[in-house]
Each structure stands twice: as structure tokens, then as C-alpha cells.
Chain A
């Protein structure tokens, strides 16, 4: 069966009133973005549905991409026919004959959204069912547990036949819920946190702290690659790369070892808050999970976030490592995350980091540093990279 249109269904969620248009526009943008490599495919929408006209592009490849777009409830490859009895009959027959293995039982489900069509839904189902029964040897109707369902949608924009419904990723389309700045390290957790935020419809920007020469170009590339994996779920990601070496050296030179991580993370929060403000992000997101490491105790979180007043979202806070790893595998970031490169959190690992740091204590140590100047300088030297579905790597021109 060669399909010519893919029908996209999205939920009624958040579709009330004026939100609906924003929702649909946002979803449309995501869909167009992930389908960019399929040059011939055309995306269009019509009330309550979205359609991808294949124009010869590979249906399976497109469905695979669409399954990773948040906001889509389900996807059906369809065949478009004329809105005439003959054409529907012929198309439905072709559809059922193309199924492998050949189904023993079937039913026809009709939706007549376009009431100008002269027959009722029930009539159409009956008519087409009869036509199939007459022309396919041995096949029977089973209304309750059919092996195949022929779906007919008669709509103003066309009549669509399909037999397959593939589940989508659900959630809200990326961009429908405002912007969040994700603290993206090279670890397992932060990409998962980013993915979970995207699922709720936020536009993600990412911030990464880069400490050359302590951390290498490879570890930065790993972060780009991770962001690139997230882009596959809709929307581009702007990656802010903060030069962090000076701050780390300054902390190391003047603060006690057990407080290194705490103070380092306080600096990260300050910088992230500034970058968020400059880019209209209303919250930060982190991959913290309660009790996972010393810097993720409640006391730590409290001490770390007491220097900022922006909401900090921690979608993984109550998850355990196994759950997080399972999601990482599902979204294909796990293999990348476990590549062994130094990141800014591993180079300064003290033997005994404090597990119950106090904000006053941390503040007292920080008095030895010119906090404002350090933060200003880091923000100023931050570089932004755009991560898109087609982000180029060295050598891409070769292939």
C-alpha cells in the first residue's frame, strides 16, 4: 500500500478558547522542523487535524519522526480518495488487500465530519463492509475484536482511508508553555530532565558550564550531541556555553574543599538566572534527584538556591536512578551520557563534600571572592549555539 497522506491527531488538552490557535501553530512548527529532511513532504492543518502530504517521501520514516513530537496523540498513514461511493469502495478494498498477514476479520468505522456527504456514517460503513465481504474471499465481519479496522474519515478537505493508528508521544507541543533554561551537564540526569520539561510543552534553552582546559572539547561536543537528541522531540534548542574556568579556579584558590561543590553550584545558579533573564526564560530546570549525591540533599538544594529567586524545576526530584536510566535509554541519550569525559562537576570532586551545607557558611566563604565581577565576566563571555535537527558536525560535507 502506498500511502499519500499522514493524518496527525492531537488532543483536546489546552485547546480551549484562544489557546487553541497557539497550540496548533506551535505543534505545526515542531512538525515542520522534524520533517525538514523530507523535502517533498508538505504539512498543513485543518480544524482539529494536521496532515503531512507525502509527495513520494517515505511514510515509515516520517511516522518514526512524528512519534517523537510532543503534542501528537496518534498518527495514521492514510490514502486519500475522492468523496464518491465508488472511490471509497475501491480504496478500502485495496487497503484491506494490502495487509499482511491477510486479516480474517474486519470492521469498518466511518466518521462523516463533512455532513454534505449524502450518506450517513452508518450507511457508509455498511456499504463498504458489504463491498469488502463480496470481494475478499473468506473474510468475516467482527465488530468487537476485528483483526483489521478500516477507518474512513469523510472531511471537507478530503476523504481519508486508513487502517493503522500509531500512538504519538502525547504531552504538549514544545513552545506551548513558555521557556525554561535547562542546566545541561554531560550526565545521565539532565537530558532526561530536559525531555520531561519538553513533554510539558516548554521551549528549552540549555546552559552548559565549560571549563577548559579541565574539560575538553569532547565533553562540550557530548553536550551538543545530547541537546541534539532532545531536538528530535520538537523545537530547536539554544545552547549557552559559559566559560567557567576562572570561577572554578577562584573558588578552588580561596574556599575550603568541602564547600567547593556547593559554592560552584551557587555560581552556576547565579549565572543561569542572569542568562534566563536575558533570554526571557521564566524558570531553571535541573536534573537533580533528592539524595543522589552530596549536592542533592535538601540542605544543599536550599543553600544552593538561596542565592537566586527564580523558580527551579526539578522534574526528577523523586525518581530513582533506575527510572531515570530507563527514560535515558528510551530517549537515546544514555549511550552518550556514559561516555567518560571530564565535566565541570567531576574535576573538583572533594573527598568529603559537605552534605549539610549552610547558606550563611557558604556566603561567608564567598566573601573572599568578587562574586559580582566573576558572574558578570562569565555571562559576558557566554557563547550561544543553535542546536537544530540538522546541526552540522565536522566532516558533514564529506557525505
Chain B
């Protein structure tokens, strides 16, 4: 089986698995305990925090460990909404966010907040102009993803951050779950206040992630209890997973350039090959995209049918964000780009990872060519 669903989750590096196991065996102390075991566990966590801080070019005190992307996004958005509700109740986000942002904003609407969802263009990119129009005196938060998880489109985070610098009271949150390790970002230079990361997207363990929170920014915690993570995220730290994540970050840092070249080569091969198949349309824009995602449609063929056909031939792909793929509706994100319902319903997302090889992409193209050929008679054109 060739796995092409790395945007959903990745296979952990063997070294990561080893670290997780070792920490569970050896450093089983609670980092908050006062005895020797606790001190050792705390030291492991401290090093993991330093590794994360170094990779993000921020201070260790600005790294908060969470259970993953969803929790980081929830903590950021609700944390700001609750902390600054006296200042205003207007939030700006986009129509193409992951549900962990989009649905959280929806939930806040029920609590009386006012949310502006910025539209996207045909490439799945939002416009900074739209954002400028949307800013109001009572805006407290702007939350925009860096790389779109379905299309791979890169959003103009740097420009948004530069614009928002004139509004020191607007907090800027970036969901970087799909970009970390694939598309570089500069938290401080770009004026980012909060940023979410998830370990299982870069060959780390699942159930662990990072919330970057700029020093000095106050937010209300989602989880309250023992006061761990400086009170921002109570709950005994998942040390094994945290250490595994740090290991994955370290490996990723080492391989960053090679990986970027490899991913680009693979998606470029896919793009060329798929373009040459009659009936296939590439949905991922050619420029300003992440190197690991390629989305395409075969209008007339239901995505799920194509997915299973490809699976029979040995390729595991995705129809869209794995988190919502069980719904029988076209993707909200793809519809937001203005593409037709049929094309959206037939979209397949390919996402490559560290374990994939360029030759596999050629094999995939051939399998797809064959599958489309076979399915053609059944297309409801």
C-alpha cells in the first residue's frame, strides 16, 4: 500500500516511536512532582520545549504543549474571545478554515460574537483587501490558516500580519498545522500572536501539539486545574508524546531542505501526470502552494468511488479533510473557491510525506489513468 494521505496524518518516524517508548519506560515521573523522578521528567520536558522554541525562533516560555491542533486552535480562539470580550465581540476568519477554527467561530456566534468569514478566490486564497475592509473598531481577533489543508494554497500571512501591526489590540492567530515543516514562517517578523501546530502532521505522535503564545499576551485558559503550562493549559503533561514531538521536530529540521525538494519533486510529477489524463482537473493552484498537497477532480466520478478504486490498486488517498470526509456533502472549502458542485464532489486530495518516493508518483498516475478509463462508462455525464 502506498500512503498518500499525509495531510490527514503521517506515519511516525521510527526514532520517534523509540523516544516515546523510552520516555514511558524511563521518565515516567510527573514533571510537577518534587522528587527526583519528577525533576528528571521536568528536564526532559524543558529540553523538548527548547527544541520547539528554537525551531519556531521564539522563546521557550512562549511554547505551550497541548493535545494537538484542535486544542491549540480552540485555546487560541476561545481564549482571546473570552479575555477580550469587554473590548469587542467581532472576529475575522475565513470560509476555508479547518473545522477546528471554522466551527469554533460558529460556536462563538451562538454565544453572541459576530464573525466575518472572508471569501476565497478560485485558487482558494483570501485577499488582504477583503480583510482590510472587514476590520472594525470592535474586532478583537483575526484567525487565518497558513496552508489550506484541502488545496495546499498558502495564505498571505505575512501581509496580513504587516497590516495588523497598526492595530495592536487585534490579536492575530495562525493555524500552521499544515505548514509547519513544509512552508517556512517567521512568527515574530510577521506579527503573529498565536500559532497552532500538531505533531502527527510531521511524523510525530498524535495527541500532542503546540500553541505558541506571544510573551505578554493574556488569554483565558480553556482547561483549568493544576496550573501546568503556566496556567494556560492545565493537565498533567503528556511527556512521552511531547518528547516524541521534539524528536520529530529535530529530525524534520535536519531534513528540511531535502524534504522540501523531495515533496516538490513528487507533487510536480503528480501534477504533470494527472494533467495529461483526459477528464482530470487539478484544483491546487500552480503558484504559492505548499509542496506536499495536490488536489484534483474527475468530474462525474464520485470521489468515494474513485478513492476505493485507487485503494484496490494499492494507493491510499483522501477525499478532503479527513475530519469531515464522512459527510456526503461537497467540501465547504472547495465550494468557497467557486468551483461547481460536481467538481467539488469528485475531488481527491493527495498528500505526500517523508516515506514516499518519486517513482510511486509515476505509478500512481498510471493507476489513476487506468481507473478513470474504467470508470468512464459509469460517469453520470
Chain A residues with CB under 8 Å of chain B are 216-218, 221, 335, 393-396, 398-399
Contacts and interface: CB of A to CB of B under 8 A. Distances in A.
Interface in B230-289: 243, 246-247, 250
24 contacts: A217-B36, A218-B34, A221-B43, A393-B43, A393-B47, A394-B27, A394-B40, A394-B43, A395-B23, A395-B26, A395-B40, A395-B43, A395-B44, A395-B47, A395-B243, A398-B23, A398-B44, A398-B47, A398-B243, A398-B247, A399-B243, A399-B246, A399-B247, A399-B250
A301 to B, nearest CB: 34
A393 B22 CA distance: 16
Interface of B: 19, 22-23, 26-27, 34-36, 39-40, 42-44, 46-48, 51, 61, 243, 246-247, 250
A32 to B, nearest CB: 23
* A interface, over-half SS: helix
Nearest to A335: B61
A335 B215 CA distance: 13
A129 to B, nearest CB: 34
B337 to A, nearest CB: 35
B29 to A, nearest CB: 10
A221 B36 CA distance: 11
A221 B31 CA distance: 14
Nearest to A398: B19
Given A335-B61, A399-B51, A399-B246, A216 B43 contact: no
A310 to B, nearest CB: 34
Contacts of B48: 399
Contacts of A217: 35-36, 39
Contacts of A398: 19, 22-23, 44, 47, 243, 246-247
Task: Specify the main secondary structure of chain B where it touches its partner.
Answer: helix
Nearest to B26: A395
A163 B75 CA distance: 46
B23 A393 contact: no
A289 B187 CA distance: 40
A395 B27 contact: yes
A394 B61 contact: no
Contacts of B26: 395
A203 B11 CA distance: 50
Contacts of A394: 27, 39-40, 43-44
Given A393-B46, A395-B26, 5 more contacts: A216-B39, A217-B35, A218-B34, A393-B43, A398-B19
Contacts of A221: 39, 43
A162 to B, nearest CB: 25
Contact of A218 (B27, B39, B44, B250): B39
Given A221-B39, A394-B27, A394-B40, A399 B34 contact: no
Contacts of B47: 393, 395-396, 398-399
A398 B50 CA distance: 13
A399 B43 CA distance: 12
A218 B39 CA distance: 6
Contacts of B51: 399
A394 B43 CA distance: 6
Residue of A218, A394, A398 ringed by the most chain B CB atoms within 10 A: A398
Interface centre among A216, A217, A395, A399 (most CB of B within 10 A): A395
